[in-house]
Amino acid sequence: MEGTGRPALISVIVPVYNIVEYLQRCVDSIRRQTWRNLEIILVDDGSTDNSGALAEKMALEDKRIRVFHKENGGSSSARNLGISHARGDYIGFVDSDDYIEPQMYERLLSVALSENLLMVQTSRDEIDEQGNKMPDVCIPPDVPQLWECERFMRELLLHRGDCSFCTKLIHASLLKEERFPVGELNEDFNLLVRLLPRVPAVAILPEQDYHVFYRYGSNTRTRDEEEFPQVFTDIVRNADRVYEIVKKEYPQLLPEAMRFGLFQRLDYMLHIPVSRMTRDNAFYMDVKAYLGKHRKDVIGSAYLTGKNKVYLLLLGTAPRLVRRVHRMLMRTRKKE
C-alpha cells in the first residue's frame, strides 16, 4: 500500500454458483494477471454441481486462492461474504462466467495510485456463446478520462454510464461499512449510487479488459412472455432511491433523475405480462399512478425521446391496451 514500502494487495472476489463449465476460464484469467500481488476469493454460494470441488482443487494449485462455502443466498450475499474476508488494499469483482485480460488490474491499480483515486474503471465488451463480440452496451472513451462524481452520476442517470462493479477497482475503505443489498437485483447500481458521493472522481480507461459472457437465460434474458424477472421491479425501486440521493447531493441533476425514474418505469411497463396488470397488483398500480401524476414531467423532459414520451403518456392512461398493441407489433416485426 502507498507509503508502507510493500506493493498494494488486490482482493478479487468471485461469487460461484453452479458454474463448473466456465469457472476454470474465469479463475485462470485472474491467475494470469501481470499484477501478481493479489488474492482470489472464491465464494461457493451453495452450488449443487461440482463448482465447489473445482474451486477447492484450484486453491491447491495456487496459494493466492481462498475458498469459502455458504448456503445459497444470491450473488450479493456471496460478494458481501467475500468483502468481509478480503485483506486487500483494493477490491475487485469478477463474475464467474466472465473473464479478464492479463493487464487489467495492473492498469487499474497504476492509475489509482498515480492519481490517488478511490475508484477506477476499465471498459468492457460482451461476448456471445459462439465467441462473437456483441454491440457495446457502454461505449468506451477514446482516451483515459477523469470524471468528477457528479458527471459520473449524470451519465448513470442518462443510461450512458457503467454501474457494474466488475469493471472497477475499489479502495477497500469504501466498503468498510457499505454492502450489496441482499435479495435484490440491480444491486450494483444500488451500491454504486450510495458510494458516489464519497468518491471525488473516477478514472475511466478505454481498454476493454473485462469480457462479459452473454449467456441466454441469465439475468433478464428470457424467452417466456409470462416470465417477469424481479429486476424490473428492483430498477424502479432503485430509481426512487437515486432520486432521493440526487435531491440531497446533486440537486442540479434533478431533471436527469426524473428522466431516469420515468424511463425505468417505462421499462417495467413494457415487460410486465399483461396478465399481471391487475388492480390487485399494488406495485403495478403504483407505477401506473406515478405515470399519471408526472405527465407534465414527461412532456417537459429534455432527456426523453418523442417515442419515450408517447409511450409513457399512453401507458399512464391505457396501459393494458397499449401493451396488447405493442405485443402485436413486436410479433409482426419478428415474422418480418
Residue 100 amino acid letter: I
DSSP string computed for 235-297: HHHHHHHHHHHHHHH-GGGHHHHHHHHHHHHHHHHHHS-GGG-STT-HHHHHHHHHHHHTHHH
**Please, are residues 52 and 123 in contact by the beta-carbon 8 Å criterion?**
no
Exposure of 59 by Cβ count < 10 A (0-12 exposed, 13-18 middle, 19+ buried)?
Answer: middle
Collapsing DSSP to helix, strand or coil, 128 comes out as coil
Q: State how far the alpha carbon of 170 is from the alpha carbons of 100, 102, 214, 242, 311, in Å.
A: 17, 18, 24, 20, 39
Q: State how far the alpha carbon of 238 is from the alpha carbons of 76, 126, 178, 193, in Å.
A: 15, 24, 16, 9
pLDDT at position 219: 44
Axis-axis angle for helices 254-271, 319-335 (nearest 10): 70
Most confident listed range (64-68, 127-131, 134-138): 64-68
Helices (H), 73-201: 75-85, 104-115, 149-157, 187-195
Confidence bin at 4 (pLDDT 50/70/90): low
Q: Tell me: the pLDDT tens digits for 243-277?
A: 999 999 999 999 999 999 999 999 999 999 999 99
Q: What is the mean pLDDT of the chain?
A: 93
pLDDT at position 108: 98
Lowest mean pLDDT among 106-110, 113-117, 207-211, 223-227: 223-227
CA 148 to chain CA centroid, Å, is 20
Residue, of 87 and 6, whose pLDDT is higher: 87
pLDDT greater than 90 at residue 225: no
**Please, are residues 181 and 108 in contact by the beta-carbon 8 Å criterion?**
no
Q: Tell me: the pLDDT tens digits for 151-172?
A: 999 999 999 999 999 999 999 9
Q: State how far the alpha carbon of 113 is from the alpha carbons of 31, 146, 207, in Å.
A: 22, 14, 18
Q: Tell me: the pLDDT tens digits for 42-55?
A: 999 999 999 999 99
Find cell 465447489 and name the residue.
Answer: 52
pLDDT greater than 80 at residue 59: yes
* Number of alpha helices (DSSP H) and beta strands (DSSP E) in the chain: 12, 9
Number of other residues whose CB lies within 10 A of the CB of residue 326: 16
What is the Cα–Cα distance from 169 to 167, expressed in whole angstroms?
7
CA 143 to chain CA centroid, Å, is 23
Find cell 484469467 and name the residue.
Answer: 29
What is the Cα–Cα distance from 52 to 69, expressed in whole angstroms?
7
